[in-house]
Amino acid sequence: MAGKKIHLHTIGCQMNQSDSERLAGFLSVRGGQIVSRASEARYIIVNTCGVRQSAEDRAFGLAHQWRDSRPGIKIILTGCLAGRIDLRGKIAATFDFSFKIGDMEKLASFLGFKNIRFPRIKNTNVDYLRINPCYHDQVRAFVPIGNGCNNFCSYCVVPYARGQENWRPADEIITEARTLISHGCREITLIAQNVNSYKSFLKTKKGREPVDFSRLLRRLDSLPGNFWIRFATSHPKDLDAKLIETMADCEKVCEHLHLPAQAGDDEILRRMNRAYTIEHYKNLISRWRAAFRHSRLKKDWPTAVTTDLIVGFPSEKRQQFTNTLKLVRAVKFDQVYSARYSPRPGTAASVWPDNVPMAEKKRREKILEAEVKKIALAINQAYVGKVLPVLVVGQNRHQEYYGLTRTNKKIILLESRCPPRSGEFYDARIVAAREFSLAGKIKKPASN
Ligand code: SF4
């Protein structure tokens, strides 16, 4: 008999995508049938994001749209909005049921799934990560290593929505990675809100040994197989010399660092509660780049640094925004993910006047994006002529194959006698560069 048809709609970050994969795994083994189209489903679960107002509005907007077009369906909410006390009334009026992502047992009861075969989830913040997921992509998989955040950046809702940091045991992460690799996975991305503060234990013959993020990376790097390791996201205060050395040493760990700076002005950083100065941030990037230049293995390999920046934080003056531009020019980021500040209820910054007008936020964002494009193009032009390993990911809507470099740059693969195979590594010569992508020609299957 066909199971209950359930559609999962995910909004937001990689962590939410990964959570939806665990949720799909949880529901599938209990008889739920996950369907890709909302129009086929009797139940729609929206896995929401609360980081920006626009994402929050989208979740409620979609629920109303589905309700109007499909009377009789049940609409369920989870994710970052599920624990928001200030939204309790609005959630109850819009959704049939809501649950925190770790409370999947409550969802099971709501759906009438009786036959519970899992050991019950005890620590709802982290135990659900143990559930066997239905991976969206087996070639490039997310492996969550923890959940929650202790940092309480003044603008951020995550510590309230997801709670304090909780980490998965290292053995569990290594087992999941090993299984993925044995099934042909080529790229493992370790994810958590702040991966580099990871602390857990590893069972050894001598007992339980402490493991930090560097040690976890080294253990994963030592697994046999042809695969790459990435991670996201990191906090500058937890990027230490040991982790820098590990990245420069470990062959499978990619030469890409995503290190959110959030602002380029010390006073703004202090008010954001980011716990570092711009000098410290720039120093970290210099040390990270130097470690690769001095690495025996990777000294000639390209590296990439990307970041997140917020424009229009409360009381951000023009000069302070100019300092952000100065940081971008000084570091020369490969890519910047910019966001216009929007106050999040319950956060420290939400009580400060949101006093940079929207038009000015948009203006600053435009200036920032133009600066980033100029820098990114110059960086990418230096790739032309190089031969680099590329992981082929798929075909775009123009039927062109594309892939990723180790530095996480998208590369369009131009005419090739034999079409490349998705999920395989090739060596490609870079023949052209744009701001945020490269074009290349395949030479041969990669040697790594
Ligand atoms: S480090 Fe700051 S911005 Fe990142 S999740 Fe934690 S509180 Fe939010």
Tens of pLDDT along 10-27?
A: 998 899 999 999 999 999
Take atom 8 of ligand 1 and give the residue whose Cα is closest: 156
Pocket test for ligand 1, best of 165, 235, 259 (most atoms within 8 A of CB): 235
The list of the chain residues with pLDDT below 70 reads 1-2, 115-124, 416-417, 445-448
Distance between Cα 235 and ligand 1 center (Å): 8
Q: How far is ligand 1, taken at its centre, from the CA of residue 22, in Å?
A: 22
Q: What pLDDT is recorded for position 12?
A: 87
- How many Å lie between the centroid of ligand 1 and the Cα of residue 274? 9
- Ligand 1 mutation target, pool 154, 160, 194, most atoms within 8 A of CB: 194
Query: How confident is the model at residue 1, as a pLDDT?
Result: 47
Q: What is the ipTM of this complex?
A: 0.97
CA of 184 to the centre of ligand 1 (A): 33
> How many C-alpha atoms does 392 have within 13 Å on its Cβ side?
22
Out of 158, 268, 273, mutate this one to test ligand 1's pocket (max ligand atoms within 8 Å of CB): namely: 158
Ligand 1 atom 1 nearest Cα: 151
- Tell me: domain 387-445, CATH 3.30.70.100, correct? no
Q: Which pLDDT value is given to residue 446?
A: 65
Looking at the chain, the whole-number percentage of residues with pLDDT higher than 70 is 96
Q: Which atom of ligand 1 is nearest to the CA of 149?
A: 6
Task: Specify the fold of 137-253.
Answer: Transcription Regulator spoIIAA (3.30.750)
CA of 361 to the centre of ligand 1 (A): 21
Mean pLDDT of the chain: 93
Nearest ligand 1 atom to the CA of 162 is: 5
Residue with the smallest CA separation from ligand 1 atom 2 is 153
One of 3.40.50.1000, 3.40.50.300, 3.40.50.12160, 3.30.390.50 is the CATH number of 5-111, namely: 3.40.50.12160
C-alpha of residue 257 to centroid of ligand 1, in Å: 17
Ligand 1: atom nearest CA of 262 is 3
Q: Where in the chain is the domain with CATH 2.40.50.140?
A: 387-445
Q: Give 315 Cα–ligand 1 centroid separation in angstroms.
A: 20
Query: CATH 3.40.50.12160: which residues of the chain?
Result: 5-111
Q: Which atom of ligand 1 is nearest to the CA of 156?
A: 8
Could you give the residue range(s) of every CATH 3.30.750.210 domain in the chain? 137-253
Nearest CA residue ID for atom 4, ligand 1: 193
Compute the distance from residue 269 Cα to the ligand 1 centre, in Å. Answer: 13
Ligand 1, residues at Cβ distance < 6 Å: 149, 151-153, 156, 158-159, 193-194, 235
Identify the architecture of domain 255-382 in CATH.
2-Layer Sandwich (3.30)
User: Distance, CA 350 to ligand 1 centroid (Å)?
Assistant: 15
Kindly give the distance from the C-alpha atom of residue 186 to the centroid of ligand 1, in angstroms, as a whole number: 29
Give the pLDDT confidence score for residue 123 in this predicted structure: 66
